[in-house]
Amino acid sequence: MSDRTTISFRLNGVTTRARVSATASALEMLRDDLGLTGTKYGCGEGECGACSILLDGDSTNACLLFAVDCDGRDLRTIEGLASDPIGAKVQQAFVEAGAVQCGFCTPGMIVQATDILRREPHPSRECISRGIEGNLCRCTGYVKIVDAIEAVALARDSAQERAQ
Ligand code: FES
Ligand code: FES
């Protein structure tokens, strides 16, 4: 008898079913069962943020989330952020700011940045730095990542000023 359970959830806007074991993480389900490898496996312990996804809109470590607990929820991964108004701007800003080096942390950083900018339309650099504290980057020194996220916020400010 299979120990797997069928769950159903929204994944990047599409109703999706998966058969998962009781012990599988959402990260394993996304990468191994559903082929969405943009979400990275770093530490597997909630320490690095490489596996960040949006769960019902909130940034969440997919390595600490049981797949069965995704039943009925809304998941968005880096693959789904290109069609998200904020996520698309963040991706572009990372490229323009030179915030991508090896790229391993980048999907998680972009998910986290999207979460920050949704919660706080005008974050200070300090607020951005605090917001990405749970996402580790071995390459960039973080300055260009903060620059990229700040650039999205500043572009939003000037668009609002022009509209007033
Ligand atoms: S792989 Fe999930 S926090 Fe590191
Ligand atoms: S760009 Fe390499 S870990 Fe961040």
Q: State pLDDT tens for residues 1-35.
A: 578 999 999 999 999 999 999 999 999 999 999 99
pLDDT at residue 157, as a whole number = 72
Q: What is the pLDDT of residue 164?
A: 65
- Contact, 94 vs 110, CB < 8 A? yes
* pLDDT given at position 103: 98
Helix (H), strand (E) at residue 124: none
Give phi and psi for 16, each to the nearest 5: -135, 140
pLDDT of residue 161: 64
Q: How far, in Å, CA of 42 to CA of 27, rounded?
A: 11
Ligand 2 within 6 A of CB of 139: yes
- Domain ranges for the chain, please list them: 4-80, 82-163
Decide which of 2.60.120.10, 3.30.450.20, 1.10.238.10, 1.10.150.120 is the CATH code for 82-163. 1.10.150.120
Longest dimension (CA), the chain: 64
55 lines ligand 1 (CB under 6 A): no
What is the number of the ligand 1 atom nearest to the C-alpha of 62?
Answer: 2
Placement of tokens 């903060």 in the chain = 146
Q: Is the pLDDT of residue 63 over 90?
A: yes
Q: Name which residue sits closest to atom 4 of ligand 2, judged by CA.
A: 137
Q: Note whether 55 and 114 are within 8 A (CB).
A: no
For residue 72, give the nearest of 139, 160, 6, 150 by alpha carbon.
Answer: 6
Q: Which CATH number fits domain 4-80: 3.10.150.10, 3.30.1330.60, 3.10.20.30, 3.40.50.720?
A: 3.10.20.30
CB 70 within 8 A of CB 56: no
Q: Predicted confidence band at 156 (pLDDT cuts at 50, 70, 90)?
A: confident
Parallel/antiparallel/unpaired status of strands 58-61 and 52-55: antiparallel
Q: What number is the average pLDDT over the span 147-156?
A: 95
d(CA 148, CA 95): 8
Protein residue with its CA nearest to atom 3 in ligand 1: 46
Query: For 83-139, what is each residue's pLDDT tens digit?
Result: 999 999 999 999 999 999 999 999 999 999 999 999 999 999 999 999 999 999 999
Ligand nearest the Cα of residue 47 is: 1
Which ranges constitute the DSSP H helices of 10-139? 26-28, 78-81, 85-97, 106-119, 125-131
Say if ligand 2 is within 6 A of residue 16 CB: no
Atom of ligand 1 nearest to the CA of 41: 1
- Interval between CA 136 and ligand 2 midpoint (Å): 8
- Residue 46 Cβ inside 6 Å of ligand 1? The answer reads yes
**Residue 131 C-alpha from the chain's centroid:** 12
Which of the listed residues 51, 111, 139, 144 should we mutate to test ligand 2's pocket, taking the one with most ligand atoms within 8 A of CB? 139
